[in-house]
A and B are shown apart, each in its own frame.
Chain A
Amino acid sequence: MSEATYKLHYFNVRARAEVARLLFALANKQYEDVRYALPRFGVTEGKDFTPLKESGILPFGQVPVLEVTKGDKTQVISQSHAIERFLAREFGLYGSSNLEAARIDEINEGAVDLWNSYAQQVFMKPQEEQPEALKKFLAETFPKFAAVYEKFKNENPESHFFVGKSITYADLMVFHVGQGIKAEWKDFPNVHKVTEAVAKTLEKYLSNRPPSNF
Protein backbone atom coordinates (compact mmCIF):
# COMPACT_ATOMS: atom_id res chain seq x y z
CA MET A 1 0.00 0.00 0.00
CA SER A 2 1.58 3.27 -1.10
CA GLU A 3 2.21 6.06 1.36
CA ALA A 4 -0.28 8.88 1.37
CA THR A 5 0.79 12.43 0.54
CA TYR A 6 -0.84 15.42 2.13
CA LYS A 7 -1.49 19.02 1.17
CA LEU A 8 -2.97 21.38 3.74
CA HIS A 9 -4.54 24.65 2.58
CA TYR A 10 -5.11 27.50 5.03
CA PHE A 11 -4.35 31.13 5.67
CA ASN A 12 -0.91 32.15 6.83
CA VAL A 13 -1.95 32.08 10.49
CA ARG A 14 -2.30 29.47 13.24
CA ALA A 15 -6.02 29.60 14.11
CA ARG A 16 -7.99 26.72 12.60
CA ALA A 17 -5.13 24.81 10.93
CA GLU A 18 -2.55 24.84 13.67
CA VAL A 19 -3.67 21.67 15.45
CA ALA A 20 -3.41 19.81 12.13
CA ARG A 21 0.10 21.22 11.72
CA LEU A 22 0.96 20.15 15.27
CA LEU A 23 -0.28 16.63 14.48
CA PHE A 24 1.95 16.45 11.42
CA ALA A 25 4.90 17.77 13.45
CA LEU A 26 4.30 15.31 16.25
CA ALA A 27 3.99 12.36 13.88
CA ASN A 28 7.02 13.60 11.97
CA LYS A 29 5.10 13.27 8.70
CA GLN A 30 5.75 15.29 5.57
CA TYR A 31 3.06 17.49 4.09
CA GLU A 32 2.74 20.57 1.90
CA ASP A 33 1.75 23.49 4.12
CA VAL A 34 0.08 25.84 1.62
CA ARG A 35 -0.51 29.25 3.19
CA TYR A 36 -2.73 32.03 1.84
CA ALA A 37 -2.58 35.75 2.50
CA LEU A 38 -5.42 37.25 4.56
CA PRO A 39 -5.23 40.97 3.81
CA ARG A 40 -8.19 42.03 5.94
CA PHE A 41 -6.35 40.73 8.99
CA GLY A 42 -3.07 42.32 7.92
CA VAL A 43 -1.58 39.02 6.78
CA THR A 44 0.08 40.07 3.56
CA GLU A 45 2.40 37.12 2.96
CA GLY A 46 1.05 34.04 1.28
CA LYS A 47 -0.64 32.89 -1.88
CA ASP A 48 -3.66 34.63 -3.35
CA PHE A 49 -6.76 32.96 -1.90
CA THR A 50 -9.07 33.92 -4.78
CA PRO A 51 -8.14 31.11 -7.21
CA LEU A 52 -8.67 28.50 -4.50
CA LYS A 53 -11.95 30.07 -3.46
CA GLU A 54 -13.18 30.05 -7.05
CA SER A 55 -11.80 26.59 -7.88
CA GLY A 56 -14.87 24.84 -6.52
CA ILE A 57 -12.83 22.32 -4.54
CA LEU A 58 -13.72 23.83 -1.16
CA PRO A 59 -16.84 21.85 -0.07
CA PHE A 60 -18.09 24.60 2.25
CA GLY A 61 -16.23 27.43 0.50
CA GLN A 62 -13.89 27.56 3.48
CA VAL A 63 -10.43 26.58 4.59
CA PRO A 64 -8.71 24.63 5.97
CA VAL A 65 -8.98 21.70 3.61
CA LEU A 66 -6.65 18.72 3.49
CA GLU A 67 -5.91 16.94 0.23
CA VAL A 68 -5.03 13.29 0.83
CA THR A 69 -3.53 11.48 -2.14
CA LYS A 70 -3.10 7.70 -2.18
CA GLY A 71 -2.00 6.24 -5.50
CA ASP A 72 -3.99 8.10 -8.14
CA LYS A 73 -6.88 9.04 -5.88
CA THR A 74 -7.15 12.40 -4.08
CA GLN A 75 -9.71 13.01 -1.37
CA VAL A 76 -10.45 16.51 -0.08
CA ILE A 77 -11.34 16.73 3.61
CA SER A 78 -12.87 19.96 4.87
CA GLN A 79 -13.79 21.14 8.40
CA SER A 80 -10.86 21.67 10.75
CA HIS A 81 -11.95 19.11 13.35
CA ALA A 82 -12.67 16.47 10.69
CA ILE A 83 -9.15 17.02 9.37
CA GLU A 84 -7.66 16.82 12.87
CA ARG A 85 -9.53 13.66 13.77
CA PHE A 86 -8.51 12.03 10.49
CA LEU A 87 -4.85 12.82 11.07
CA ALA A 88 -5.00 11.79 14.73
CA ARG A 89 -6.39 8.40 13.68
CA GLU A 90 -3.91 7.98 10.81
CA PHE A 91 -0.97 8.78 13.09
CA GLY A 92 -2.11 6.83 16.15
CA LEU A 93 -2.64 9.90 18.31
CA TYR A 94 -6.25 9.18 19.27
CA GLY A 95 -5.87 6.85 22.24
CA SER A 96 -5.94 3.08 22.25
CA SER A 97 -9.64 2.40 22.82
CA ASN A 98 -13.04 3.92 22.11
CA LEU A 99 -13.22 5.07 25.74
CA GLU A 100 -9.86 6.82 25.49
CA ALA A 101 -10.97 8.41 22.22
CA ALA A 102 -14.16 9.56 23.98
CA ARG A 103 -12.09 11.25 26.71
CA ILE A 104 -9.98 12.93 24.01
CA ASP A 105 -13.19 14.15 22.37
CA GLU A 106 -14.52 15.45 25.70
CA ILE A 107 -11.34 17.39 26.31
CA ASN A 108 -11.36 18.80 22.78
CA GLU A 109 -15.04 19.78 22.77
CA GLY A 110 -14.52 21.57 26.06
CA ALA A 111 -11.48 23.34 24.64
CA VAL A 112 -13.55 24.43 21.63
CA ASP A 113 -16.21 25.77 24.03
CA LEU A 114 -13.46 27.63 25.89
CA TRP A 115 -12.17 29.14 22.65
CA ASN A 116 -15.73 30.12 21.58
CA SER A 117 -16.27 31.82 24.94
CA TYR A 118 -13.01 33.70 24.45
CA ALA A 119 -14.02 34.69 20.92
CA GLN A 120 -17.37 35.97 22.15
CA GLN A 121 -16.11 37.73 25.26
CA VAL A 122 -12.79 39.09 24.01
CA PHE A 123 -11.83 38.58 20.35
CA MET A 124 -15.06 39.95 18.85
CA LYS A 125 -14.99 43.09 21.02
CA PRO A 126 -13.65 46.38 19.66
CA GLN A 127 -9.85 46.63 19.97
CA GLU A 128 -9.93 49.19 22.77
CA GLU A 129 -12.22 47.02 24.94
CA GLN A 130 -10.13 43.87 24.56
CA PRO A 131 -7.54 44.27 27.33
CA GLU A 132 -10.25 44.74 29.98
CA ALA A 133 -12.37 41.98 28.47
CA LEU A 134 -9.39 39.61 28.50
CA LYS A 135 -8.73 40.36 32.17
CA LYS A 136 -12.34 39.56 33.03
CA PHE A 137 -12.31 36.39 30.92
CA LEU A 138 -9.11 35.10 32.51
CA ALA A 139 -10.42 35.87 35.99
CA GLU A 140 -13.92 34.43 35.60
CA THR A 141 -14.56 32.08 32.65
CA PHE A 142 -11.12 30.56 32.20
CA PRO A 143 -10.64 29.19 35.75
CA LYS A 144 -13.95 27.29 35.56
CA PHE A 145 -12.80 25.40 32.48
CA ALA A 146 -9.26 24.96 33.73
CA ALA A 147 -10.53 23.31 36.91
CA VAL A 148 -12.30 20.70 34.79
CA TYR A 149 -9.07 19.96 32.93
CA GLU A 150 -7.18 19.71 36.18
CA LYS A 151 -9.70 17.05 37.23
CA PHE A 152 -9.38 15.20 33.92
CA LYS A 153 -5.61 15.13 34.30
CA ASN A 154 -5.93 13.82 37.84
CA GLU A 155 -7.83 10.84 36.45
CA ASN A 156 -4.64 9.92 34.57
CA PRO A 157 -2.11 10.56 37.33
CA GLU A 158 0.80 8.38 36.23
CA SER A 159 1.17 10.06 32.86
CA HIS A 160 2.54 13.37 31.65
CA PHE A 161 -0.48 13.65 29.36
CA PHE A 162 -4.25 13.78 29.52
CA VAL A 163 -5.06 10.35 28.10
CA GLY A 164 -3.06 7.16 28.21
CA LYS A 165 0.68 7.05 28.58
CA SER A 166 1.78 9.18 25.66
CA ILE A 167 0.95 12.47 23.97
CA THR A 168 -2.31 12.58 22.02
CA TYR A 169 -4.49 14.94 20.01
CA ALA A 170 -6.07 16.16 23.29
CA ASP A 171 -2.78 17.49 24.64
CA LEU A 172 -2.16 19.38 21.40
CA MET A 173 -5.62 20.94 21.43
CA VAL A 174 -5.35 22.18 25.00
CA PHE A 175 -1.88 23.56 24.29
CA HIS A 176 -3.12 25.36 21.16
CA VAL A 177 -6.27 26.81 22.72
CA GLY A 178 -4.25 27.91 25.72
CA GLN A 179 -1.96 29.87 23.42
CA GLY A 180 -4.94 31.28 21.55
CA ILE A 181 -6.60 32.68 24.65
CA LYS A 182 -3.29 33.86 26.09
CA ALA A 183 -3.84 31.78 29.19
CA GLU A 184 -1.29 30.91 31.78
CA TRP A 185 -1.81 27.56 33.36
CA LYS A 186 0.42 28.04 36.38
CA ASP A 187 -2.54 28.07 38.76
CA PHE A 188 -3.48 24.67 37.37
CA PRO A 189 -0.28 22.70 37.92
CA ASN A 190 -1.37 19.42 36.37
CA VAL A 191 -2.54 21.03 33.16
CA HIS A 192 0.55 23.20 33.21
CA LYS A 193 2.70 20.07 33.27
CA VAL A 194 0.91 18.83 30.16
CA THR A 195 1.33 22.05 28.20
CA GLU A 196 4.97 22.23 29.21
CA ALA A 197 5.46 18.65 28.04
CA VAL A 198 3.86 19.51 24.69
CA ALA A 199 6.08 22.57 24.35
CA LYS A 200 9.13 20.45 25.05
CA THR A 201 8.14 17.64 22.69
CA LEU A 202 7.50 20.08 19.83
CA GLU A 203 10.28 22.52 20.68
CA LYS A 204 11.85 22.37 17.23
CA TYR A 205 8.58 22.85 15.37
CA LEU A 206 7.43 25.66 17.67
CA SER A 207 10.63 27.60 17.35
CA ASN A 208 10.63 27.35 13.57
CA ARG A 209 6.99 27.95 12.68
CA PRO A 210 6.04 31.20 10.90
CA PRO A 211 5.00 34.02 13.26
CA SER A 212 1.28 34.64 13.61
CA ASN A 213 -0.86 36.94 15.71
CA PHE A 214 -3.60 34.36 16.13
Chain B
Amino acid sequence: STQSTGSEHSYKLHFFNVKGSAELARILFFLSKKPFEDVRYANPGFGLTEGEDFSVLKNSGILPFGQVPILEVEQGGNKRIISQSSAIARYLAKEFGFYGNSNIEAARIDEIAEGVLDLVSAYRKQVQYAPMDEKEAATKKFHSETFSSFCSTLEKFKKENPDNDFLVGKSISLADVVFFVGLESVGQIDQVLKNFKEIEKVRQNIATLLEKYIASRPQTRVNAVSYTHLRAHE
Protein backbone atom coordinates (compact mmCIF):
# COMPACT_ATOMS: atom_id res chain seq x y z
CA SER B 1 0.00 0.00 0.00
CA THR B 2 1.16 3.51 -0.67
CA GLN B 3 1.43 6.07 2.06
CA SER B 4 1.02 9.70 1.23
CA THR B 5 4.06 11.91 1.64
CA GLY B 6 4.56 15.65 1.73
CA SER B 7 2.56 18.33 3.42
CA GLU B 8 -0.31 17.61 5.75
CA HIS B 9 -3.73 16.77 4.40
CA SER B 10 -6.93 18.14 5.82
CA TYR B 11 -10.15 16.20 5.49
CA LYS B 12 -13.83 17.10 5.55
CA LEU B 13 -16.43 14.32 5.42
CA HIS B 14 -20.01 15.20 4.50
CA PHE B 15 -22.91 12.87 5.28
CA PHE B 16 -26.28 12.69 6.97
CA ASN B 17 -26.49 12.46 10.74
CA VAL B 18 -26.60 8.64 10.77
CA LYS B 19 -24.04 5.86 10.64
CA GLY B 20 -24.88 4.60 7.18
CA SER B 21 -22.30 4.51 4.46
CA ALA B 22 -20.05 7.12 6.07
CA GLU B 23 -19.37 5.04 9.16
CA LEU B 24 -16.48 3.23 7.44
CA ALA B 25 -14.69 6.51 6.84
CA ARG B 26 -15.35 7.74 10.38
CA ILE B 27 -13.92 4.56 11.86
CA LEU B 28 -10.87 4.68 9.59
CA PHE B 29 -10.19 8.24 10.73
CA PHE B 30 -10.54 7.11 14.35
CA LEU B 31 -8.11 4.21 13.86
CA SER B 32 -5.62 6.42 12.06
CA LYS B 33 -5.84 9.10 14.77
CA LYS B 34 -5.97 11.67 11.98
CA PRO B 35 -8.22 14.67 12.53
CA PHE B 36 -11.12 15.34 10.20
CA GLU B 37 -14.21 17.49 10.08
CA ASP B 38 -17.28 15.25 10.45
CA VAL B 39 -20.00 17.37 8.85
CA ARG B 40 -23.44 15.90 9.51
CA TYR B 41 -26.63 16.93 7.73
CA ALA B 42 -30.23 16.86 8.80
CA ASN B 43 -32.74 15.23 6.48
CA PRO B 44 -36.30 15.89 7.61
CA GLY B 45 -37.65 13.55 4.93
CA PHE B 46 -35.87 10.70 6.70
CA GLY B 47 -36.78 11.92 10.16
CA LEU B 48 -33.31 13.33 10.83
CA THR B 49 -33.90 16.67 12.50
CA GLU B 50 -30.41 17.48 13.81
CA GLY B 51 -27.60 18.66 11.59
CA GLU B 52 -26.64 21.12 8.89
CA ASP B 53 -29.02 22.13 6.13
CA PHE B 54 -28.52 19.65 3.30
CA SER B 55 -30.13 21.81 0.62
CA VAL B 56 -27.17 24.17 0.77
CA LEU B 57 -24.78 21.33 -0.08
CA LYS B 58 -27.16 19.84 -2.61
CA ASN B 59 -27.49 23.13 -4.48
CA SER B 60 -23.77 23.87 -4.37
CA GLY B 61 -23.13 21.62 -7.35
CA ILE B 62 -20.11 20.01 -5.74
CA LEU B 63 -21.73 16.59 -5.28
CA PRO B 64 -20.67 14.62 -8.40
CA PHE B 65 -23.62 12.22 -8.21
CA GLY B 66 -25.85 14.56 -6.22
CA GLN B 67 -25.31 12.29 -3.24
CA VAL B 68 -23.41 11.99 0.00
CA PRO B 69 -21.05 10.95 1.44
CA ILE B 70 -18.29 12.96 -0.15
CA LEU B 71 -14.81 13.52 1.22
CA GLU B 72 -13.00 16.82 0.66
CA VAL B 73 -9.23 16.33 0.68
CA GLU B 74 -7.06 19.41 0.82
CA GLN B 75 -3.30 19.35 0.55
CA GLY B 76 -1.10 22.39 0.03
CA GLY B 77 -3.89 24.50 -1.42
CA ASN B 78 -5.18 21.74 -3.72
CA LYS B 79 -8.69 20.58 -3.02
CA ARG B 80 -10.13 17.35 -4.32
CA ILE B 81 -13.55 15.81 -3.80
CA ILE B 82 -14.06 12.08 -3.63
CA SER B 83 -17.58 10.70 -3.90
CA GLN B 84 -18.92 7.13 -3.52
CA SER B 85 -18.62 5.67 -0.03
CA SER B 86 -16.50 2.69 -1.00
CA ALA B 87 -14.11 4.86 -3.05
CA ILE B 88 -13.72 7.06 0.03
CA ALA B 89 -13.20 4.07 2.32
CA ARG B 90 -10.64 2.48 0.05
CA TYR B 91 -8.77 5.77 -0.41
CA LEU B 92 -8.51 6.31 3.34
CA ALA B 93 -7.55 2.67 3.92
CA LYS B 94 -4.67 3.06 1.47
CA GLU B 95 -3.59 6.44 2.88
CA PHE B 96 -3.62 5.17 6.46
CA GLY B 97 -2.20 1.68 5.86
CA PHE B 98 -5.33 -0.42 6.36
CA TYR B 99 -5.34 -2.08 2.94
CA GLY B 100 -3.00 -5.01 3.51
CA ASN B 101 0.66 -5.48 2.68
CA SER B 102 0.34 -6.99 -0.77
CA ASN B 103 -2.01 -7.15 -3.73
CA ILE B 104 -3.15 -10.59 -2.59
CA GLU B 105 -4.02 -9.25 0.88
CA ALA B 106 -5.81 -6.29 -0.70
CA ALA B 107 -7.77 -8.73 -2.87
CA ARG B 108 -8.83 -10.68 0.22
CA ILE B 109 -9.88 -7.42 1.88
CA ASP B 110 -11.96 -6.57 -1.18
CA GLU B 111 -13.51 -10.06 -1.23
CA ILE B 112 -14.67 -9.69 2.34
CA ALA B 113 -15.97 -6.17 1.72
CA GLU B 114 -17.96 -7.31 -1.32
CA GLY B 115 -19.27 -10.28 0.64
CA VAL B 116 -20.50 -7.98 3.41
CA LEU B 117 -22.17 -5.78 0.80
CA ASP B 118 -24.03 -8.80 -0.57
CA LEU B 119 -24.99 -9.85 2.98
CA VAL B 120 -26.48 -6.50 3.92
CA SER B 121 -28.26 -6.27 0.59
CA ALA B 122 -29.75 -9.71 1.22
CA TYR B 123 -30.82 -8.66 4.71
CA ARG B 124 -32.63 -5.69 3.28
CA LYS B 125 -34.42 -7.78 0.67
CA GLN B 126 -35.20 -10.81 2.83
CA VAL B 127 -35.93 -9.22 6.18
CA GLN B 128 -36.43 -5.45 6.05
CA TYR B 129 -38.75 -5.60 3.06
CA ALA B 130 -40.67 -8.62 4.40
CA PRO B 131 -44.29 -7.93 5.41
CA MET B 132 -44.73 -7.51 9.18
CA ASP B 133 -46.45 -10.87 9.64
CA GLU B 134 -43.65 -12.66 7.80
CA LYS B 135 -40.76 -10.89 9.49
CA GLU B 136 -40.09 -13.45 12.19
CA ALA B 137 -39.94 -16.34 9.75
CA ALA B 138 -37.87 -14.28 7.33
CA THR B 139 -35.41 -13.40 10.08
CA LYS B 140 -35.04 -17.06 11.11
CA LYS B 141 -34.43 -18.01 7.48
CA PHE B 142 -31.89 -15.22 7.02
CA HIS B 143 -30.03 -16.34 10.13
CA SER B 144 -29.94 -20.04 9.27
CA GLU B 145 -29.21 -19.63 5.57
CA THR B 146 -27.70 -16.42 4.19
CA PHE B 147 -26.07 -15.17 7.37
CA SER B 148 -24.72 -18.58 8.40
CA SER B 149 -23.38 -19.20 4.91
CA PHE B 150 -21.60 -15.84 5.02
CA CYS B 151 -20.12 -16.64 8.43
CA SER B 152 -18.88 -20.02 7.19
CA THR B 153 -17.04 -18.32 4.36
CA LEU B 154 -15.50 -15.80 6.72
CA GLU B 155 -14.45 -18.60 9.08
CA LYS B 156 -12.71 -20.26 6.14
CA PHE B 157 -10.95 -16.99 5.33
CA LYS B 158 -9.93 -16.57 8.97
CA LYS B 159 -8.50 -20.10 9.03
CA GLU B 160 -6.17 -18.97 6.25
CA ASN B 161 -4.90 -16.30 8.67
CA PRO B 162 -4.68 -18.49 11.77
CA ASP B 163 -2.17 -16.82 14.04
CA ASN B 164 -3.61 -13.32 13.94
CA ASP B 165 -6.39 -11.43 15.67
CA PHE B 166 -8.00 -10.00 12.56
CA LEU B 167 -9.39 -11.18 9.26
CA VAL B 168 -6.47 -10.30 6.98
CA GLY B 169 -2.82 -9.92 7.90
CA LYS B 170 -1.46 -9.15 11.32
CA SER B 171 -3.40 -6.01 12.18
CA ILE B 172 -6.83 -4.46 11.71
CA SER B 173 -7.69 -3.67 8.11
CA LEU B 174 -10.54 -2.31 6.04
CA ALA B 175 -11.94 -5.87 5.94
CA ASP B 176 -12.46 -5.86 9.70
CA VAL B 177 -14.03 -2.39 9.66
CA VAL B 178 -16.45 -3.36 6.90
CA PHE B 179 -17.25 -6.60 8.72
CA PHE B 180 -17.93 -4.73 11.95
CA VAL B 181 -20.13 -2.08 10.35
CA GLY B 182 -21.92 -4.76 8.32
CA LEU B 183 -22.78 -6.71 11.45
CA GLU B 184 -24.35 -3.56 12.89
CA SER B 185 -26.57 -3.38 9.81
CA VAL B 186 -28.18 -6.83 9.83
CA GLY B 187 -30.23 -6.75 13.00
CA GLN B 188 -29.75 -8.96 16.04
CA ILE B 189 -27.24 -11.62 15.06
CA ASP B 190 -25.27 -12.06 18.29
CA GLN B 191 -26.79 -15.48 19.03
CA VAL B 192 -26.10 -16.80 15.54
CA LEU B 193 -22.57 -15.44 15.58
CA LYS B 194 -21.85 -17.58 18.65
CA ASN B 195 -21.85 -20.58 16.30
CA PHE B 196 -18.82 -19.17 14.58
CA LYS B 197 -16.19 -18.88 17.28
CA GLU B 198 -13.32 -17.66 15.14
CA ILE B 199 -15.07 -14.66 13.67
CA GLU B 200 -16.91 -13.93 16.89
CA LYS B 201 -13.44 -13.55 18.39
CA VAL B 202 -12.45 -11.21 15.56
CA ARG B 203 -15.53 -9.13 16.20
CA GLN B 204 -14.56 -8.85 19.89
CA ASN B 205 -11.04 -7.82 18.92
CA ILE B 206 -12.40 -5.11 16.65
CA ALA B 207 -14.86 -3.91 19.29
CA THR B 208 -12.02 -3.64 21.78
CA LEU B 209 -9.98 -1.46 19.43
CA LEU B 210 -13.04 0.70 18.73
CA GLU B 211 -14.21 0.92 22.34
CA LYS B 212 -13.51 4.64 22.74
CA TYR B 213 -15.02 5.41 19.35
CA ILE B 214 -18.22 3.44 19.98
CA ALA B 215 -18.63 5.04 23.40
CA SER B 216 -18.27 8.58 22.10
CA ARG B 217 -19.92 8.56 18.65
CA PRO B 218 -23.32 10.24 18.29
CA GLN B 219 -26.16 7.86 19.04
CA THR B 220 -27.88 7.73 15.68
CA ARG B 221 -29.73 5.25 13.55
CA VAL B 222 -27.77 2.57 11.80
CA ASN B 223 -29.41 2.98 8.45
CA ALA B 224 -29.18 0.12 6.03
CA VAL B 225 -25.92 -0.73 4.39
CA SER B 226 -22.33 0.37 4.44
CA TYR B 227 -21.75 0.74 0.76
CA THR B 228 -24.98 2.20 -0.56
CA HIS B 229 -26.01 5.76 -0.48
CA LEU B 230 -28.74 7.35 1.51
CA ARG B 231 -30.32 8.80 -1.59
CA ALA B 232 -30.90 12.52 -1.36
CA HIS B 233 -34.31 13.76 -2.34
CA GLU B 234 -34.32 14.93 -5.92
Which residue in A77, A78, A105, A148 is a CB contact (below 8 Å) of B64? Answer: A148
A98 touches B94 (CB 8 A): yes
Q: Does B37 contact A (CB under 8 A)?
A: no
Whether B115 and A79, one on each chain, are in contact in the complex, defined by CB atoms closer than 8 angstroms, is yes
Pick the contact of B111: A82, A90, A99, A103 (CB < 8 A): A82
- B115 adjacent to A102 (CB under 8 Å): no
For the complex, is A196 an interface residue (Cβ under 8 Å from B)? no
| Interface pair A110/B111, CB less than 8 Å apart | no
> Is A77 a contact of B65 with CB atoms below 8 Å?
no
Nearest chain A CB to B88's CB is how many angstroms away? 7
CB atoms of A82 and B114 under 8 A apart: yes
Chain A's nearest CB lies how many Å from the CB of B83? 5
Nearest A residue to B64, CB-CB:
A148
Q: Complex: how many Å from CA A106 to CA B86?
A: 8
- Give the contacting residue for A59; candidates B73, B104, B156; CB below 8 A: B156
Q: Are A102 and B64 in contact (CB under 8 A)?
A: no
Give the interface SS of chain A, mostly helix, strand, loop or mixed.
helix
A101 contacts B by Cβ under 8 Å:
yes
Q: Could you mark each residue 104-116 of chain B with 1 if its beta carbon is under 8 Å from any beta carbon of chain A, else 0?
A: 1011101101110
Task: Check: B87 CB closer than 8 A to any chain A CB.
Answer: yes
Name the interface residues of B75-104: CB closer than 8 Å to any CB of A. 80, 82-84, 86-88, 90-91, 94-95, 103-104
B30 at the interface (CB under 8 A from A): no
Number of interface residues of B (CB under 8 A): 31
B153 is an interface residue with CB less than 8 A from chain A: yes
B157 CB-CB contact with A under 8 Å: yes
Cβ of A75 under 8 Å from chain B:
yes
**Consensus secondary structure, chain B interface:** helix
B118 in contact (CB, < 8 A): yes
Is residue A115 contacting chain B, with contact meaning CB distance below 8 A? no
B84 near A101 with CB under 8 A, answer: no
Q: Does any Cβ of A come within 8 Å of B204's Cβ?
A: no
Given A75-B104, A82-B110, A151-B64, does the pair A102, B4 have CB atoms closer than 8 Å?
no
Given known A77-B107, A79-B110, A98-B4, contact A60–B86 (CB-CB < 8 A):
no
Q: Which residues of B contact A101 (CB under 8 A)?
A: 90-91, 94
Give chain A nearest CB distance to B78 CB in angstroms: 9
Contact A105/B90 with A60-B115, A79-B111, A99-B80 known, Cβ cut-off 8 Å: yes
Q: Which residue of A lies closest to B61 (CB)?
A: A151
Q: Is the CB of B83 within 8 A of A106?
A: yes
- Please tell me if the beta carbons of A102 and B88 are within 8 angstroms of each other in the complex: yes
* Contact in complex: A99, B87 (CB < 8 Å): no
Q: Which residues on A sit within 8 Å (CB–CB) of B108?
A: 77, 82
Closest to B109 in A: A82
- Are B153 and A59 neighbours in the complex by a CB distance under 8 Å? yes
Asked if A98 and B95 make an inter-chain contact with CB atoms under 8 angstroms apart, the answer reads yes
Query: Which residues of A are found within 8 Å of B106, using beta-carbon distances?
Result: 85-86, 89
Contacts of B111 in A (CB 8 A): 59, 77-79, 82
Chain A residues with Cβ below 8 Å from B153 are 59-60
**27 A–B contacts, CB within 8 A, in A order:** A59-B153, A77-B104, A77-B111, A78-B111, A79-B110, A80-B114, A81-B110, A81-B114, A82-B107, A82-B111, A82-B114, A83-B107, A86-B106, A98-B91, A98-B95, A99-B80, A101-B90, A103-B82, A105-B84, A105-B86, A105-B90, A106-B83, A109-B84, A109-B86, A110-B65, A110-B84, A151-B64
Given A79-B111, A105-B90, A148-B65, 7 other A-B residues pairs in contact with their CB atoms under 8 A: A75-B107, A77-B111, A79-B115, A82-B107, A101-B94, A103-B87, A152-B64
Task: Name A residues whose Cβ lies closer than 8 Å to a Cβ of B.
Answer: 59-61, 68, 75, 77-83, 85-86, 89-90, 97-99, 101-103, 105-106, 109-110, 113, 148, 151-152
Name the 10 nearest CB pairs between A and B, nearest first.
A105-B87, A82-B110, A79-B114, A109-B84, A86-B107, A102-B91, A82-B111, A106-B87, A79-B111, A106-B84
